[in-house]
Amino acid sequence: MILPLEQQVANLALSKELKELGFPQETYFHWIFRRRLVGRKTKGIIVEPVWVLDCCRYGITEESIAAPTAAELGEILPKGIKTWKGFNPWQKFEWWCNNRDMPFKTLLEGAENTYQADGNTEVNAKTKMLIHLAKQGLVKFEKESVR
């Protein structure tokens, strides 16, 4: 089974939040702002702005937003982060990610001891965890590539 690309990378809202926190923008996939032709009228063409997912073959620009994959996030997340898929009929999320097994010393240096993120995909659960850890000061982003 091949997952659609949109389910293999962080969604646009979470990717924007990562960018604001200083996440490196050197990932393979990016959200790119484009204009899409939606019709023609007698006085000209009608276009609508849209964010599309693409590989960075056109180069990384200020407007593009890195869309990390679950594998790229797995390399950045610290040791002790667990991700699993579960079934819970009363919740809308299928994936969970927690920091319960992070080294105790690391958790003492941060504010919150344990945190659990959820998401409709593995990558979104991992992205929410990374955002939480960055806001707590437990993860710092460097300027090197995550590819």
pLDDT at 41: 65
Reported as a pLDDT band with limits 50, 70 and 90, residue 145 is very low
Q: What pLDDT, in 10s, does the model give residues 1-33?
A: 788 888 899 999 999 999 999 999 989 899 988
pLDDT at 12: 95
Provide the b/e sequence for 78-88 (b: ≥16 CB within 10 Å). eeebebeeeee
Q: Which residues contact 97 (CB under 8 A, 6 or more apart)?
A: 81, 82, 83, 116, 117, 118, 119, 125, 126, 128, 129
Query: Sign of the CA dihedral 38, 68, 106, 137?
Result: negative
Crossing angle of helices 12-20 and 122-135, rounded to 10°? 20
147 has pLDDT over 50: no
Looking at per-residue pLDDT, the higher value among 34 and 112 belongs to 34
35 has pLDDT over 60: yes
Question: How far is CA 118 from its chain centroid?
Answer: 13
Q: What pLDDT, in 10s, does the model give residues 56-101?
A: 665 677 788 999 999 999 999 988 888 888 876 666 668 888 877 6
Query: Sign of the CA dihedral 126, 132, 135, 140?
Result: negative
Predicted structure pTM score: 0.79
Q: Is 5 helix (H, G, I), strand (E, B) or coil?
A: helix
**Contact criterion met (CB below 8 Å) for 89 and 48:** no
Residue 9 CB-density burial (10 A; 0-12 exposed, 13-18 middle, 19+ buried): buried
